[in-house]
Amino acid sequence: MIKIEAIPILQDNYVWVIHNGLSAILVDPGATAPILAWLKNRGMTARAILVTHHHHDHVGGIAGLLDHASIPVYGPTRDAVKSVAVCEGELLDFPDMGLNLKVIETPGHTLDHVCYLVSEEQIDAMHLFCGDTLFSCGCGRLFEGTPAEMHASLTRLAALPGSTQIYCAHEYTLANIAFALEVEPDNPDLIARHSEALSLRRQNRPTLPVSISSERASNPFLRCHEPGPIDAASQHFNTRLNPGADTFAAIRAWKDED
């Protein structure tokens, strides 16, 4: 049976591990030692590495891991590390684990950013490893892409089935909710997500994964076509914004003021 677990590393990163109790696929290993220790404690071996984008907190542990195991590293073409280049729609097959993952290109945070999707038949629901593109109640900063590119990427992810579970690369949920409440103070789904996230963090548990349907209801960056966020951002910038990419750009700029 396939399981997905988090290894917390650095300040607030999660390395997501997809495993069957024996072999482990590591998503965005930004450090080496905590991952080697985690695998050793459980008697598992690394099977492959998946990279979402080239930032150091996502790739910093790869060289060290490759000193211990000769395993494939899949990642986007502009990746700084030596890896097998992946592209939109490609299926990465791990027949020994009964698993395959589909690549989705999501430019915006970086131009080379990709997400990995495990389809429904393999584990109970769909599972999306979305790196720094989509965060719970937030999204990645636009380091390389345009607001229109990021908005298009997020729109694609938001269109996945509502039961899809998302695995973000950072524990940013509570900080994101603080900002989201500035945009939509009366959104009942956001208020409910806030109490859920507070209680999980009090128990020192990740606020992830979370479902796409929960994000569609509470994440202002996925709600740029709804009157609430459009009106709030229009008021903040004292202009009349259009639904979609226009409102997305404004909400992203508003959050960047903090």
Q: Is there binding between residue 132 and Zn ion (CB under 5 A)?
A: yes
**Binding string, residues 3-42; x marks residues near Fe ion by CB under 5 A:** ----------------------------------------
User: Measured from the CB atom, is 14 or 94 closer to Zn ion?
Assistant: 14
Query: Which of Zn ion, Fe ion, none does 112 bind, CB closer than 5 to 8 A by kind?
Result: none
Quick check: 57 binds Fe ion (CB under 5 A)?
yes
Nearest to 51 by CA among 134, 136, 131, 143: 131
| Residue number with CB closer to Fe ion (176 or 187) | 176
DSSP reduced 3-state for 185: coil
Q: How many beta carbons lie within 10 A of that of residue 120, not counting itself?
A: 13
CB of 255 to Fe ion, least distance (A): 16
Binding mask 43-82 for Zn ion (x = CB under 5 A): ------------x---------------------------
The answer to whether residue 144 forms part of the interface with Fe ion (CB under 5 A) is no
Which residue in 86, 28, 80, 20 sits closest to 52, CA to CA? 28
Cβ atoms of residues 79 and 51 within 8 Å: yes
Q: If binding is defined by CB under 5 A, does position 170 make contact with Zn ion? A: no
Nearest-angstrom CA–CA distance, 95 and 93: 6
Measure Cα distances from 106 to 11, 64, 146, 157, 242 in Å. 24, 27, 12, 9, 23
| Residues found near Fe ion in the complex (CB under 5 A) | 57, 132
